[in-house]
Amino acid sequence: MGKEFPNNDWPAAILRWLAAAKHSPIARLALFAPLLLAGIASAETVPSPLPLSWCLERAVSNNPTLAVDQASRDAALQRITPAGALEDPRLRYEASNVPTGDLDFSSTPLSGHQFGLSQRVPFPGFLSNREAAAKSAADAATFSLEDRKLAIASRVEGVWAELGFAQRALRITERNIALLRQLTRIAEAKYRVGTGLQQDVLRAQVELTALLDQELSRRAAIERASARLSVLLDLPADAVFPDTEPLADDSSYPELPILAASLETKNARLLALDAEVEQAKRLLRVAELESYPDFDLGLGYRIRERVAGDPVNGDDYVGASVTVRLPLNRSKWNARIAERRALLRRQEAIYRGARASLVGALRIAHAELTRSDSEVALLQTGLVPQARQSLDSSRSAYEVGRIEFLSLLDSQVRLLNAELRLVRAEADRRQAYAALEAAAGETLR
């Protein structure tokens, strides 16, 4: 059996064990294993290759901006019930007509304990319109949340595509660096045996240095895109992402007139603004009804003592009252109504401006998507294969001395630029499609 410690000695025993642990590998492992396992369990698992679908799902569930909008929506929903409810009734107690000489309730028939209950009742239609205004505000918050989700998804896809482009551009640059180093060695070998020119060697070295500089830029672009994606996905700032899934996407999309025609019924941003217009109309009606009289209805009950000479022998008294608020200062209420009319005009103008802006964004995104489609097709079927064949032909011709080194180098540069343009066009198509969906306010794929 192990050594036992008295109850009051166990802290000192633990300290002695910890001090001895630094000399024992097994003890150190036992000490820190729970921490290591907890760290492994809490680490984020990023799938490889990095799929866009995973990024979108994580953004919807973890993005802090969406959490803010969700809380705002929930708060707006809770305002509906109070907006349509009456004010709380008021209970009143009054020690009525008590003589100051003896403070005795039984010395006069007028004395008694007075209890009252009153309820304020607004002009008919006031509460229902105020409740409808709160309902419209909640609808606006709900649509704004959906619009935010689409906007976040668009940004995630745009950054994901930018990360994918930077990663592939780096791979293309690294591959071309390796090829250019081979060409440089060939040029140097030819120069050493007298069959090549020094300017060929120098030109190759210049191009190689330029590619090495591009490599640094590509790595920096990967870091920038990774940082932006980490923020959108609520991941640690130093998160390292694997290569993305292929950027190529051939999803079809509706024609521009169809998208523009459905804006008012499908775009969450416009639906939110339309709900805000309705809220402004309801609040205008609330201001108009508030300028009419409202009422305070009251009930009273007085408990009395039996007093000599009381004609009703101490019976209790009951009473009722109606109080009417008289809105005589019409300039005050007219100013409030005019304010609400101005706010309604403001909200209607905001709606018209947003619709015009979204139509413009639709046109831009649709045009960019059409251009990217054509460019991807042209590069995939024409320029890139042709540049690759041209480089293979130039390389074979150079090795047998049929063309100059500069011609070979130009072929290499053309292939590099063509491959980069293809990847850039694929990323641009992704970003344009995401922008089109954000402007349309609906998912088109």
Write the pLDDT tens digit of every residue in 273-303: 999 999 999 999 999 999 999 999 999 998 8
CB 116 within 8 A of CB 298: yes
- Single-letter code of the amino acid located at 108: T
Write the pLDDT tens digit of every residue in 421-444: 999 999 999 999 999 999 998 888
Residue 29 tokens read as: 């492992």
With H, G, I as helix, E, B as strand and everything else as coil, classify residue 296.
Answer: strand
CA distances from 387 to 40, 174, 399 (A): 48, 18, 18
CA gap 249, 200 in Å, rounded: 41
Sheet with 295-303, side-by-side order of all strands: 90-96, 112-121, 295-303, 317-324
Tens of each residue's pLDDT in the chain, 445 residues: 444 434 444 444 444 544 554 445 444 444 443 433 333 333 467 888 999 999 999 998 888 888 899 999 999 999 999 999 999 999 999 988 888 878 888 878 878 899 999 999 999 999 999 999 999 999 999 999 999 999 999 999 999 999 999 999 999 999 888 877 877 777 777 767 776 677 777 777 888 888 899 899 999 999 999 999 999 998 988 888 999 999 998 888 899 999 999 999 999 999 999 999 999 999 999 999 999 999 999 999 988 888 877 777 778 889 999 999 999 999 999 999 999 999 999 999 999 999 999 999 999 999 999 999 999 999 988 888 898 888 888 878 877 777 777 787 788 888 888 999 999 999 999 999 999 999 998 888 8
Contacts 24+ apart (CB under 8 A), 129-134: 129/282, 129/285, 129/286, 129/289, 130/83, 130/84, 130/282, 130/286, 131/80, 131/83, 131/84, 132/278, 132/282, 133/83, 133/279, 133/282, 133/283, 133/286, 134/76, 134/79, 134/80, 134/82, 134/83, 134/84
Annotation: CATH topology of 52-86+122-292+327-440: Outer membrane efflux proteins (OEP) (1.20.1600)
Residue 289 tokens read as: 């009804």
Eight-class DSSP state of 246? P
Domain spans in the chain, listed from the N-terminal domain onward: 52-86+122-292+327-440, 87-121+293-326
- Single-letter code of the amino acid located at 65: T
CA gap 193, 409 in Å, rounded: 20
End-to-end CA distance of the chain: 69
CA gap 96, 112 in Å, rounded: 5
pTM, 2 dp = 0.75
Average pLDDT, the chain: 85
CA gap 208, 179 in Å, rounded: 10
